[in-house]
Structure 1
């Protein structure tokens, strides 16, 4: 009698993973476009056995404290803009608002703003470019989720560096992928000329993206708050609607000094490209604002005319286990029990695991995060052949049911290397199958690097190459093409074979690997969308789920679910 009851309970949990719609009298199971939010009490099992070793936890927290101190300094430097002198010149002399103050006028709630690329631009070969010279992220304007790209003119006068271009292109990619209306708060001097060779050709892609997004019905809007020179002039003129501030905003390909040098004519910035000219003569902009508060009020008014998106009140309950425990669960070697992490992220710590006994080094299953049903894929050791087969099956299953996927990536070395060519081939086949499933998935992908992003199995777990909707990392994340220790040994052997000073090579190689594999190095180069503290993960996932569900259009799976 017990076995049929167990089967019924499992079938009930399986049905919970299917989307639900409500009518006035009946609730139906469906696979249509749905936000998959919970309207009932889940019967998923609570994750048990999450006890913490106090000695191990203390050791881990001590190591994490060093990372946290480094992260804090990173954030402080990023938020300092161009420095005290540049900030004073911008605010006191030029009487302008800072980029952060402009966002405060535009957003409904600045506290719920999901900033992207906060660490971008720090420690570059050409010096620090805090926030890559722009604040970018997603927030609500009159209830509509919008992407915002705001130049910070205190950083090199708002000029575009290669890393700034890389960040803007990534932000536009996110906006297009999630169909987010995009606001450009513009004050830019165009490209940084000493580095023009790295900017000129890829720089035109920003204009291409703006045009393509508009053609796809994704609104492109601009507020001109200062000089828009050279390439910066195209952003507002290509926008669908543009606001311009009187005697503060200017649009021209070449400013008054260039005009004088080329033609000998002396002309003011206002006559050459001011708000009066562009709002009443050229028609390049649409709304004339006397000052910044009025400009951002108009910007908010525009948002009221935008199409509304899917919105829902999600029923939610907190995890049973404290997220503040997570730093104590992260060992210096990034050995992390994935169940401990999942239990501190999902609602009620309730998880319906898929294929638990098959390929156990990859954990897959269903849970709710702030009331939204998600599929979770997390490393719990080396990605074996069976684990990859399971992962491909689960990804396709979520695509068939229109369930967003959360990847918790922490790749590990293979403790038992294959003993034959056939075994190697089987592993490669399984990994290739999962890469194909992830690459061709038709549901939102949200990836967190919670430990290691090392070697080819990082691709399998939806890294940047797989174009996830969002990709964040924890401060302890490690990024490398192979195990850093192995690379160090290989480079040392290569150095010794050429007769080089082994000790000198060792110091140089070790320093290089210690620097270039960190989360801070990766985030500053826009290899991801930013560093997230472990205890903030659940909040950031909630923000991401709101974004991916807001304007999404259901893509149908292109093939049946292949079991193995």
Structure 2
């Protein structure tokens, strides 16, 4: 059973004064953070030196500038029905793979950002787009960055991309040209690579198609990506796939051979049988891959509402641009999450659940692009009432087979003697139990703070949301920087008092300042996004569009709730 809101539901009235000095100042500050995000995403389009890019083109490959091409096609418009801003003068491989009217939702673009020895994006570009009308996960190596070699963050990103494709039942198309493991980082690559190959085998058993299009030299581990895929296309005269190249073969066996004879596309298509199709050029390879996807007879297991499929839904009454003035650039300043909701949901209509009980937590139903959702959003610290409310609401959404959207801005659960006596641990455990055992798809967006057990209750990374995105102002850690360093300082002083030691205040201050800077850095959104703790930092104005696209992707699986019950201090 799927619930939905009828068009008779009344819109909720906004209380935002967009002309107030506070709104205007916050808008300006948030806009600055969004501009900073765009600059950092531009850094992620770096493909190596001009010399390497020129050499790549000289060899006849079309793959150069793939990151710039794909990112130009990210969902940048507010109209879900697929307008894009692709530069018409750039014609690249992924552009030919995607349908003409397809957006591209890039995932984990900042993996490895500001990490020593890592390439931004993990030397790959990954995301979801439409191929022959089918939502597919697409991953492309960037061969002009260390030959497309995998570093430790390539593995972390790849594991998350595989997880998204698995839980959302997406065919996976990989554009392959990789030197395999970066041997200088073998310890961080070797073991996770085995997990990636195992996952390809599990996909095949589960009937989830994987396609590999090999455009160039793919060595060692790079050879196992096509080797473990269901369908392989190799480009004649350019694709070369082997476990060890000619120098290694000569060193290990004494045999002298050339790359084309050893692992060329023609040989693999005529003799080894590794290749399923021999393409005359890269355009031909793309066409063959599209033909394969078109022949899958692929259908969603979940039934999307007719109003979504036909576009029969209302836009919000309030401009999503205003989200920049609503969400606090400074996470210490509270804001009303309801005002964000009104700029995301259809017609700004929202049916609240228990609005007078546990008011620090907003729960209720709406539709986004015609798709029913249950929304849980923070308006303050969590008490027992908020926890009980959320537990019941998650249960109702599972009964109604309704996906959940979590909007984080939470410092955690309330602490203190009074609240411990009231059983805050039991209430919080029930909330986390409900999130852990919920069977409907959930999507998380971190809009501000996401601290401690509040992150767990709001479906943080370890609770397997189908997607998790962050706003550029957001922070995620065990607690706020000042609270963490303050707790450690108190603990240190109490320990010194008990042992009779005298504290050197200068050393204590230096230590506290160091910890504060370290904690501040590690809670920063770019630190967490660099380590794939989210699936990307997004412009808050694109929240509705991205949620609409992700909800559609979730319906590739059956959307069905389940039993939430566990002990959890009932």
Q: Quick check: 1:453 aligned with 2:450?
A: yes
Which residue in the other structure is 1:353 paired with? 352
The farther-off stretch of 289-298 and 44-53 is 44-53
Which residue in the other structure is 1:527 paired with? 533
8 Å Cα contact 2:265-2:278 kept in structure 1? yes
Which residue in the other structure is 2:86 paired with? none
| Distance in 2 separating the partners of 1:153 and 1:520 | 25
1:414-455 Cα offsets, whole Å, 9 max, x none, are 6773426423xx111111111111111111101000111111
1:453-493 Cα offsets, whole Å, 9 max, x none, are 11111100000010000000000110111121112234556
Deviation at 1:93, TM superposition (A): 4.6
Which residue in the other structure is 1:510 paired with? 516
Q: Quick check: 1:367 aligned with 2:372?
A: no
| Distance in 2 separating the partners of 1:93 and 1:273 | 17
Q: 1:513 to 1:327 in 2, by over 3 A?
A: same
8 Å Cα contact 2:108-2:126 kept in structure 1? yes
Among 550, 557, 560, the alignment partner of 1:552 is: 557
Q: 1:334 to 1:476 in 2, by over 3 A?
A: farther
Q: Quick check: 1:121 aligned with 2:112?
A: yes
8 Å Cα contact 1:474-1:533 kept in structure 2? yes
| Distance in 1 separating the partners of 2:560 and 2:436 | 14
Unpaired runs of 5+ in structure 1?
Answer: 1-17, 21-35
8 Å Cα contact 2:17-2:23 kept in structure 1? no
The farther-off stretch of 386-395 and 512-521 is 512-521
| Distance in 2 separating the partners of 1:133 and 1:486 | 37
Q: 1:41 to 1:69 in 2, by over 3 A?
A: closer
Q: 1:542 to 1:561 in 2, by over 3 A?
A: farther
Deviation at 1:307, TM superposition (A): 2.6
Among 417, 439, 443, the alignment partner of 1:442 is: 439
8 Å Cα contact 2:383-2:414 kept in structure 1? no
| Distance in 2 separating the partners of 1:504 and 1:233 | 51
8 Å Cα contact 1:396-1:561 kept in structure 2? no
1:292-327 Cα offsets, whole Å, 9 max, x none, are 111001111111111332462231211111111111
Which residue in the other structure is 2:220 paired with? 230
Which residue in the other structure is 2:388 paired with? 389
Deviation at 1:59, TM superposition (A): 2.4
Q: Quick check: 1:483 aligned with 2:480?
A: yes
8 Å Cα contact 1:364-1:394 kept in structure 2? yes
| Distance in 2 separating the partners of 1:290 and 1:306 | 23
8 Å Cα contact 2:246-2:258 kept in structure 1? yes
1:139-171 Cα offsets, whole Å, 9 max, x none, are 000101101111111222111111110101100
Among 81, 92, 98, the alignment partner of 2:58 is: 92
- Tell me the secondary structure at the aligned position of residue 150 of structure 1: strand
TM-score for both structures, normalised by structure 1: 0.88
Deviation at 1:52, TM superposition (A): 4.2
TM-score for both structures, normalised by structure 2: 0.87
- Tell me the secondary structure at the aligned position of residue 44 of structure 2: helix
1:198-252 Cα offsets, whole Å, 9 max, x none, are 2212221101111111111111111111121111111111111110011111111
CA RMSD of aligned residues (A): 2.3
The farther-off stretch of 411-420 and 83-92 is 411-420
Q: 1:62 to 1:45 in 2, by over 3 A?
A: closer
Unpaired runs of 5+ in structure 2?
Answer: 70-91, 497-502
